[in-house]
Amino acid sequence: MRSFRTEIENPVVEKDIIELADKIAQYNNLQIDEEKFRSLRLARGVYGQRQQGVQMIRIKLPYGKVNSKQLRRIAAVSDEYSTGKLHITTRQDIQIHYVDLNRTPELWAELEKDDVTLREACGNTVRNITASETAGIDIDEPFDVSPYADAVFRFFLRNPFCQEMGRKFKVSFSASDADSGLSYMHDLGFIAKISNGIHGFKVMIAGGLGSQPRHADVLYEFLPSNKIIPTMEGILRVFDRYGERKSRGKARLKFLINDIGLEEFIKLVDAEQNAIEFKTVEIDAENYSYSKPVTISTIPNATITDEKAFETWKSTNIIPQKQEGFVAIGVKVLLGNFTTDVARKLADLVEKYAASEIRFSLRQNLLIPFVKKDLIPFFYNELNALGFAEAGYNKVVDITACPGTDTCNLGIASSTGIAEKLEDVIKNDYPKFLNNQDLVIKISGCMNACGQHNMAHIGFQGMSVRTPEKLVAPALQVLLGGGNLGNGNGIFADKVVKIPSKRGPEALRRILNDFEQNANGIDFTTYYKEKGKKYFYDFLNDLQDASNLSPDDFIDWGNNETYVQEIGIGECAGVVIDLIETLFLESEEKIEKAKECHQNKIFPSAIYHSYSALVNAAKALLLAEDISTNSHASIIQQFDDYFINSQKIELQTSFSALIYQIQQHEPSAEFSEKYTKDALYFLKKVRSYRAESLAVAK
């Protein structure tokens, strides 16, 4: 692994990659626990997939922006370490599959040569910061949110207090009140606003999808931009301390706020303010590296051979741009999948004729900004040659789907197979819907909603169904009536019926036929609300009957073999580490990190490493006594109740008073040094107690 030291200029990144390589070696030599190793690799974008012995690698692309050099680098890495295929996610990441675990450090090192990272693309961390793909060019935006999304990404990357939370944390930025960043379904959502000439955001908090979708609350109607980072830091600190850690299904921020209420949550955030170093963080939007179109002296000739197809494509795939003389081109990417050959040609095309930049969208497509209007015919021909000139960008025919049973451990039924079939149904049988953007169709392979099915107008969720003879067939839950209403408001879809998967096309036909015949021009969300759930249930109900299935019903879409329900262990949430000695060792590691940060005068990080060391050491001793824990706050209280109040351990103070010094002091050099010493003192105390207990037991 020495080559990383010479090829990577950033010492922090170099250390990260070497650490991953070392941990892989320890894991292979049975020197590190599998659960502990899983937590570490997930935070570095390395995710187990359905097929044994290979990994999915998630490449983190903040707000979906990638330049030509970066796209070529990603393509080269996929060719060398994967299968030459790329997948756009619904969080604007790129995923590649079938990667050998032992080669992941090399892969990461190659990506970092062009400032592309895997860090915190998975795991219990702040995930990719998403944003409207039209940021910076949106004719309705008050200002470009890109610099602010970028600043949030950089501030929280590798930040100690959001590395080992109880669950993942998702953040979005919306360019305008259209809320194309979908703020209402995020842990934190920011919608651009201007008040009295000041740039700021409407802030939404504690939204989420999954099996129990929750609409986000309004945290602030307007928050100045220099307060978004300190506010988010306070929220993350509280989530880290009070969030559930035992029950994965209840560990998201939405459950914490449901339990304690938004008002109490805000009080806890306010109590963290002393620990936050910067009360305001000015974001230098003026010096941000904005996209700039290249200078084009000669417009290439372009002959259109199919004028009708060209005009249809223009009507659905050209996005007006606020910069005079330019448009953006939306490229529909079927299921978010494309090859590295196409990626390279796209990189060359935008480098020579646009702004050397591509944006990946939340609907698994890509957007090319800064195309001169005179170049539209030329771009159409170039994209058509790549198979990328299909009409219907962000329209009803543009169906979103997660990978489902193709590669995901959690997939129950095929989402990609049914998505392809449904797109065919719309294109062939309902061509008049091609230009309709009031119908959004999304599909997920399981209840976790990576395909965002429960916020769609028409959604499908992978499931299974049992026949009266106890045979199992792939199925789809049909959901209706969801939608984005704008400015932080949205509706989650109702579950209407569950049908065998092979009846999905018939269900869609019935829904579209009814809408076409009876809606009278109103949008689908309004139409569904007027008619109500029972109306749709009644004309779909007969499709639920599983007593008369044919042999074909037992074969899922895109498959040739009889369906077998196989659900693995999901890794999106990371893991809980319960090994006592491992927790003690982690505490020692965190104290060493605290000392290192203190020497480098990064006092907030030093203090938080010491805090984590204290919590881990306390948890270790509680687990040694078979005392269950489920949050940092409960660990602190339980340690006092069991060890301090009973005088089993003498600290000369309570553990809560010792650890909650973090709330009482600003992150100064003096407090950083003292707090690290306190953590070391506490670790020695609990290790001694543990050693004595083991000696007595023998």
SS (H, E, C) 309-326: HHHHHHHHHEEECCCCCE
Strands (E), 206-334: 217-224, 318-320, 326-331
Q: With 90 as the cut, is the pLDDT of residue 321 above it?
A: yes
Instruction: Identify which of 140, 160, 151, 37 has the alpha carbon closest to the alpha carbon of residue 605.
Output: 160
pLDDT level of residue 214 (50, 70, 90 thresholds): very high
**What average pLDDT does the segment 18-42 reach?**
85
Q: β-strand 472-480 against 400-401: which pairing, if any?
A: unpaired
Q: Residue 105 — φ and ψ, nearest 5°? A: -60, -40
Which residue from 523, 509, 505, 502 is spatially nearest to 430, judged by alpha carbons? Answer: 509
Higher per-residue confidence, 556 vs 609: 609
Other C-beta atoms within 10 Å of 564: how many?
10
Asked if residue 577 has pLDDT above 70, the reply is no
Cα–Cα distance measured from residue 122 to residue 547, given in angstroms and rounded to the nearest whole number: 41
CA 313 to chain centre: 31
Residues 590 and 474 in one domain: no
Q: State whether 381 and 524 are in the same domain.
A: no
Q: What is the mean pLDDT of residues 180-184?
A: 96
Q: How far apart are CA 251 and CA 124, in angstroms?
A: 10
Q: Is residue 289 part of a domain?
A: no
Q: Which amino acid is at 662?
A: I
Q: Are 625 and 649 contained in the same domain?
A: yes
CA-atom Rg of the chain in angstroms:
26
| 569 pLDDT more than 60 | no
d(CA 506, CA 418): 12
Q: Are 135 and 328 in contact (CB under 8 A)?
A: no
Q: Which structural domain range is residue 253 located in? A: 130-275
In this prediction, residues 401-418 reach a mean pLDDT of: 76
Using CB atoms within 10 Å of the CB of residue 257, give its burial: 0 to 12 exposed, 13 to 18 middle, 19+ buried: buried
According to DSSP, residue 641 is labeled I
Task: For residues 642 and 648, give the distance between their C-alpha atoms in angstroms, rounded to a whole number.
Answer: 8
Report the amino acid identity of residue 96.
Answer: I
Residue 587 predicted with pLDDT over 90:
yes
Q: Pick from 320, 354, 385: which residue ends a domain?
A: 385
State the pLDDT at residue 437. 67
For residue 687, CA distances in Å to 62, 679, 692 come to 42, 12, 9
Q: Residue 172 falls within a domain, yes or no?
A: yes
> CB-based burial of residue 256 (10 Å sphere; 0-12 exposed, 13-18 middle, 19+ buried)?
buried
Q: How far apart are CA 429 and CA 260, in angstroms?
A: 50
Q: How far apart are CA 10 and CA 32, in angstroms?
A: 27
Q: Are residues 408 and 351 in the same domain?
A: no
pLDDT at residue 16 greater than cutoff 80: yes
Return the closest-CA partner of residue 501 out of 547, 546, 469: 546
pLDDT 10s digits, 56-88: 999 999 999 999 999 999 999 999 999 999 999
Q: Which residues contact 527 (CB under 8 A, 6 or more apart)?
A: 515, 518, 519
Q: What whole-number percentage of the chain has pLDDT above 90?
A: 74
Task: Verify that 134 and 271 share a domain, yes or no.
Answer: yes
| Residue bearing tokens 């250390």 | 15
And the tokens for 295? Answer: 């200078």
Residues 543 and 404 in one domain: yes
Task: Give the CATH number for residue 379.
Answer: 3.30.70.3340
Q: What share of the chain is helix, strand, coil (3-state, %, to 5)?
A: 45, 15, 35
> 16 by DSSP, 3-state: which?
helix
Residues 550 and 436 in one domain: yes
Domain boundary among 251, 275, 299: 275
- Residue 3's CB is within 10 A of a number of other CB atoms, namely 10
Taking only the tens place, the pLDDT of each residue in 287-304 is 999 989 999 988 999 999
Residue 119 lies in a domain: no
pLDDT exceeds cutoff 70 at 697:
no
User: If we measure between CA atoms, which residue out of 442, 452, 436, 451 comes closest to residue 395?
Assistant: 436
- What pLDDT score was predicted for residue 6? 41
Backbone angles phi, psi at 224, to 5 degrees: -55, 150
Residue at which a domain ends, from 539, 554, 569: 554
Using the predicted structure, report yes or no on whether residue 157 has a pLDDT greater than 50.
yes
Which among 241, 229, 233, 225 is positioned nearest to 274, based on CA atoms?
Answer: 233
- 607 and 660 in a common domain: yes
Per the CB < 8 A criterion, the answer to whether 690 and 580 are in contact is yes
Find the range with the poorest average confidence among 303-317, 557-571, 627-641.
Answer: 557-571
Q: Is the pLDDT of residue 659 over 70?
A: yes
CB atoms within 10 A of CB 582: 16
C-alpha 332/C-alpha 148 separation (Å) is 27
Residue 366 CB-density burial (10 A; 0-12 exposed, 13-18 middle, 19+ buried):
buried
Mean pLDDT of all residues in the chain? Answer: 91
Domain count of the chain?
5
Q: Tell me, what CATH number does 597's domain have?
A: 1.20.120.330
Number of H helices, E strands in the chain: 22, 22
State whether 645 and 538 are in the same domain. no
Please tell me whether residue 327 adopts helix, strand or coil conformation: strand
Tell me the pLDDT tens digit for each residue of 322-379. 999 999 999 999 989 999 999 999 999 999 999 999 999 999 999 999 999 999 999 9
Task: Give the Cα separation of 66 and 358 in Å (integer).
Answer: 6
- 247 and 325 belong to one structural domain: no
> What pLDDT, on a 0 to 100 scale, did the predictor assign at position 411?
67
281 within a domain of the structure (yes/no): no
Q: Residue 628 pLDDT > 90, yes or no? A: no
Residue 559 lies in a domain: no
- Residue 698: its pLDDT value, please? 62
Lowest-pLDDT range of 142-146, 529-533, 580-584: 580-584
In a domain, 122, yes or no: no
Q: Mark 188-225 as b/e (b = at least 16 C-beta within 10 Å).
A: bbbbbbeeeeebbbbbbbbbbbbeebbbbbbbbeebbb
For residue 340, being part of any structural domain is answered with yes
Q: Is the pLDDT of residue 617 over 90?
A: yes
Report the CATH number that the domain containing residue 504 is assigned in CATH.
3.30.413.10
Give the span between the Cα atoms of 617 and 597, in whole angstroms: 20
Within a domain: 43: yes
- Determine the Cα–Cα distance for residues 655 and 419; give it in Å rounded to an integer: 55
Same domain? 407 vs 536: yes
202: three-class secondary structure by DSSP: strand
| Residue 394 and residue 365 in contact, taking contact as beta carbons nearer than 8 Å | yes
Is residue 563 scored above 80 in pLDDT? no
- Does residue 417 share a domain with residue 548? yes
Q: What is the pLDDT of residues 671-682, one digit of tens each?
A: 999 999 999 999
2 pLDDT band (50/70/90 cuts)? very low
More confident residue, 432 or 510: 510
Confidence of residue 129 (pLDDT cuts 50, 70, 90): very high
- Residues ≥6 apart with Cβ < 8 Å to 331: 317, 365, 366, 367, 368, 383, 388, 393
Question: What's the pTM?
Answer: 0.91
Q: Roughly how many angstroms between the first and final C-alpha of the chain, as a whole number?
A: 43
